[in-house]
Amino acid sequence: MPANHTKFSKSRLFILSVVLGLLCCFTQTRAQSLLEKRVSVNFDHAPLGNILREVGKKGGFYFFYKSDLLPQDSLVSIIANNQTISGVLSTLFHGKYDFTEHKEYLVISQRLSNLSLINTDITTENNTYSISGLVVNERTGERLMNASVYVKEQLVSALTDEHGYFQLRFRANNPGQISLTASKLSYKDTSINFLQAVSVSSRSQTDDYNNATNKSNGVEKTGMGRFLISAKQRIQSLNIPDFFARRPFQISLTPGLSSHGMFSPQVVNKFSLNLVGGYTAGVNGIEFGGLFNINRMNSRYLQLAGIFNMVGGTVTGLQVAGVHNRALDTVKGVQIAGFINKAEGQMAGLQLSALTNSAHKLKGVQIGLVNTADTSQGASIGLVNIIGNGFYKVTLSTSDLTNTNVSLKTGTHTFYSALLVGINLDPNNKLYTIGLGMGHDFMLSNKVYVSAEAAYNFVDAGNWDNRLIQGKLLLNVQLSKNISLFAGPTFNRYNSSSSYSVSGYKNVNHLPVYTYTFLTQDPDPGVYISSHRVKKWMGWEAGIAFNSVFKPAPKVADYSSAWYLGAAITTGKAFGGSYGHASGVELFTHRDLGEHLTGTLSTGYSYFPTPPFGLYILSSGPVYQPPLQPIKIIPVKAGIRLKTGKAFFIAGEIGEAFGLFNDYAKTGKDSNGYPEYGLKPYRSFMYAVSAGFSFKSGLETGFKLEDYSLGGDYHQFALRLGYRLRLSK
């Protein structure tokens, strides 16, 4: 029994040894460096590029290098028998290049020269330190101009002069070890450490700050950057591309005249104040600029400037400028400018300006006279919207109100805006309209679709102080690539601001004619004639459209088939009248119109409870006000919701408010044509704006502002809590 046990143990030990041996061989094979592999090559006056391809083929890897780095056509002779690839490359290049391994690639790069700090001297007096010396090329001894020399911990720096000389001065209380670093483009950094008058050379550097992954100095390449940023600061950015510190605050007069001195473009601040203007690495809090702010990297939370803001990285939060905002990368938030906003990367939020907005990829809203985007999954609202994956369309149409209408529609099928002009060509019934509209196309097929549009027009019926609100549902049929026909019903709400009609103009609301005879024969001059009359009716519009796309673009993902059904409760503050509280419920349906855009249709019930008795103080003594009636309203409204982040949204809606109570209003006309007033069921045009969060779980929370009376007493600001179910994909 013991003999058998021993035999078994020896067999198991032998097998284990073989397995371990194989594993070691495998590990050594996998761990073998590309430079340690051995190859044999024999070339006589062969092009260098051919030799490198053959070496890579035999070694089982690829060379990677810039095309202008090596003289690939130069003729080279080499004989190597079973030599390492490192030895072959040493024979070919004689130590001129560095080699870095990355998976199956061997990267060839220019070997950087070494810097050297010589004749360095440090003195101190009353906690004031002075360091001076020379920066030279370690191999040749050449003195180097425009090298950056700095002390990271103290955030002080200087550039060497034409003789390679530098001097730094700073104040510090017991700094302990002082690390002096020299950097220059195309050279390796070097450092020396001072500790109690002992200097020690060091090639390894400890960075107490987060190294920046973004080494871009894009703002320095812009026209405004070259004009406002000094040559010394631009040279230092090239010399020190990847060191950035964080400090609580900085104050600048102009770029370079800063509490951080020349090191300002290397510092990210929580609070930044630029009296005229400043150039910093970035802001992670609040930045104010009298005229301008320039950030080398990112801006977070709030940035305000009198003239312009320019950020080399990402803007997160609010950016406001009197003239111009520009981000060289992404914007996640809001840009507000007097004239121009520009996001050269993605725009996920709101751009609002008086002139133009521009973005590479729009996932938010642009509001301005002219809006541009290479691709859009959001909404552009303006006179002209130039969208790379969108269209422009000129329409000629006639309607029941004006017989000649022209419009320019620009945007995408998901959302477009329109510039509208209408004329009624009749010398006895003239009417002129001009306005703005917006719409969405429900694509039934490539050639048939339905346009849902809303428009607001100013109307000249003798004066321009009249308003026309329209809702349209138009069926479009594409006849050819550039021509389509459309027709459909329109809902019209016309508000006359005049008390009388003007001869020769269309009398839409049947106002009395303004004549001297009419006034002198007025049997009751005290009768009040309303200066605002509203007429609502269903009409029609039909016409032809000439359309085209701005430029071919990749298809944007379409999420327009999702439907939702939900409900919400509201509670809040009533304002504008005697009512103090409001509450209600809401039923709604949503339809996705794009990745960030949703169409909304809702109704519900809003309740303003009867306010308590009020006490009035009069000269004759206090009296009690009788209780008012409770206000009960059923709103019916439609609108647009924009999601600006993963969950946050803003929305706007318009519609009609139907009151379950009687209110004083126009009830008709008497025998002389004068309007009569009395109690009738309340009804009014309304609008609503809201913002909040809509989560993937279906929960919604936020607030809304609703106006049921357009200047009357019925408004509310309420908190909203709801839930929605997805009905389809």
Task: Please provide the DSSP assignment of 169-208 as one string.
Answer: EEE-SS--SEEEEEE-TTEE-EEEEEETTEEEEES-----
Alpha-carbon gap, residue 661 to 669, rounded angstroms: 22
Instruction: Provide the Cα torsion 147, 152, 158, 163; round to 10°.
Output: -40
- 608 and 656 both lie in a single domain: yes
35, 82 Cβ separation under 8 angstroms: no
CATH (domain of 620): 2.40.160.20
Amino acid at 526: G
Query: Which of 337, 354, 387 is the last residue before a domain boundary?
Result: 387
Question: Cα–Cα distance between 271 and 249 in angstroms, integer?
Answer: 5
> What separation in angstroms does the CA of 691 have from each of 315, 686, 720?
21, 18, 10
Summarize pLDDT for 329-343 with one digit per residue, the tens: 999 999 999 999 999
Sign of CA dihedral 131, 136, 141, 143: negative
Residue among 281, 271, 345, 263 at smallest CA distance from 304: 271
Distance (Å, whole) CA 70 – CA 66: 8
pLDDT tens-digit series, residues 384-409? 899 988 898 999 999 999 999 999 99
Please answer whether residues 566 and 722 qualify as being in contact, where contact means their C-beta atoms are separated by less than 8 angstroms.
Answer: yes
Minimum mean pLDDT range among 98-107, 620-629, 687-696: 620-629
74 shares its domain with 139: no
Cα 627–chain centre separation? 51
Q: Which residue would you say has higher pLDDT here, 200 or 437? A: 437
Specify the pairing of strand 105-110 against strand 62-64.
Answer: parallel
Query: Per-residue pLDDT for 552 more than 60?
Result: no
Assess if residue 469 is contained within a domain: yes
Pick from 211-225, 231-245, 279-293, 616-630 the range whose average pLDDT is largest: 279-293
| Cα distance between residue 405 and residue 398, in whole Å | 6
Q: What is the mean pLDDT of the chain?
A: 81
Going by the DSSP 8-state scheme, the letter that residue 505 receives in this structure is B
Beta carbons of 449 and 413 less than 8 angstroms apart? yes
* Domain CATH for 149: 2.60.40.10
**How far apart (Å, rounded) are the C-alpha atoms in residues 646 and 360?**
20
| DSSP secondary structure code for residue 31 in this structure | H
**Residue 291 confidence class, pLDDT cut points 50, 70, 90:** very high
For residue 217, being part of any structural domain is answered with: no
Q: How confident is the model at residue 114 (pLDDT cuts 50, 70, 90)?
A: confident
Q: Give the mean model confidence (pLDDT) for residues 651-658.
A: 90
- Pick the last residue of a domain from 387, 418, 445: 387
> Which percentage of the chain shows pLDDT scores above 90?
31
Distances (CA, A) of 312 to 139, 193, 231, 294, 610: 37, 33, 18, 8, 57
| pLDDT reported for residue 195 | 57
Least confident of 88-92, 513-517, 583-587, 647-651: 513-517
Query: How many other C-beta atoms can be found within 10 angstroms of the C-beta atom of residue 616?
Result: 9
pLDDT of 22 higher than 80: no
155: in domain? yes
| CA–CA distance, 277 with 254 (Å, rounded to integer) | 5
Question: What would the pLDDT profile of 510-542 be if each residue is shown by its tens digit?
Answer: 877 765 444 444 444 444 445 668 888 999 999
Rg (CA), the chain: 38
Among residues 710, 704, 585, the alpha carbon closest in space to that of 653 is found at 704
Bridge-based pairing state of the strands 299-305 and 315-321? parallel
Number of domains within the chain:
5
Most confident of 27-31, 176-180, 534-538: 534-538
pLDDT at 47: 87
Q: Is the pLDDT of residue 318 over 90?
A: yes
Whether residue 723 sits in one domain with residue 577: yes
Asked if the structure places residue 431 within a domain, the reply is: yes
Q: Which residues contact 714 (CB under 8 A, 6 or more apart)?
A: 574, 576, 577, 579, 608, 631, 633, 657, 684, 707, 708
In this model, does residue 6 exceed pLDDT 50?
no
Measure the CA angle with vertex 52, ends 50 and 58; round to 5°. Answer: 105
Residue 272 and residue 309 in one domain: yes
Q: Which residue has the higher pLDDT, 238 or 318?
A: 318
Of residues 127 and 373, more confidence is placed in: 373
Same domain, 274 and 350: yes
Angle between helices 85-93 and 48-59 (to 10 degrees): 170
DSSP line for 674-701: -EEEEEEEEEEEEEEEEEEEE-TTSEEE
What residues form DSSP beta bridges with 677? Answer: 666
Q: φ and ψ at 126, to 5 degrees?
A: 55, 50
User: How high is the pLDDT of residue 266?
Assistant: 81
pTM of the predicted structure, to 2 decimals: 0.58
pLDDT at 403 (0 to 100):
93
C-alpha distance across the termini of the chain, in Å: 73
CB–CB of 688/637 below 8 Å? Answer: yes
User: pLDDT tens digits, residue range 567-611?
Assistant: 999 999 988 677 888 999 999 999 887 667 788 999 999 998 877
Domain extent, residue 341, equals 223-232+265-387
525 with 399, same domain? yes
Nearest of 199, 187, 100 to residue 135 by alpha carbon: 187
Of residues 311 and 221, the one with the higher pLDDT is: 311
Give yes or no: residues 722 and 586 share one domain: yes
556 lies in some domain: no
Last-in-domain residue among 110, 132, 162:
110
In the block, residue with structure tokens 């304002």: 575
pLDDT of 490 strictly over 90: yes
Residue 580 shares a structural domain with residue 695 = yes
How do strand 581-592 and strand 370-376 relate by DSSP bridges?
unpaired
59 and 122 together in one domain: no
Residue 662 has pLDDT above 60, yes or no: yes
Q: Which residues contact residue 604 at a Cβ distance below 8 angstroms, ignoring those fewer than 6 apart? A: 568, 584, 585, 586, 587, 588, 634, 635
Could you tell me if 270 and 284 are in contact, meaning their C-beta atoms sit under 8 angstroms apart?
Answer: yes
The pLDDT, as a whole number, for residue 500 is 79
Predicted confidence band of residue 613 (pLDDT cuts 50, 70, 90): low
116, 245, 627 from 191: Cα distances, Å: 8, 18, 84
pLDDT at 132: 83
Share of the chain above pLDDT 70, in %: 82
CA–CA separation, 597 and 683 (whole Å)? 30
Given a cut of 80, whether residue 625 has pLDDT beyond it is no
Amino acid at 567: A
pLDDT band of 669, cuts 50, 70, 90: low
132 and 39: one domain? no
Residue 371 belongs to some domain of the structure: yes
Summarised one tens digit per residue, pLDDT across range 446-483 is 889 999 999 999 999 988 889 999 999 999 999 998 99
* Strand ranges, E, within 196-323: 198-202, 245-254, 257-258, 267-274, 277-280, 282-289, 292-295, 299-305, 308-311, 315-321
pLDDT at 560: 54
Q: CA torsion, points 25, 26, 31, 32, in degrees to nearest 10?
A: 60
Same domain, 304 and 347: yes
Q: Residue 152 falls within a domain, yes or no?
A: yes
Greatest CA separation found in the chain?
Answer: 140
CATH of residue 51's domain is 3.55.50.30
3-class secondary-structure state, position 378: coil
Q: Specify whether 77 is located in the same domain as 97.
A: yes
How far apart are the C-alpha atoms of 451 and 486, rounded to whole Å? Answer: 9
* Domain-located, residue 3: no
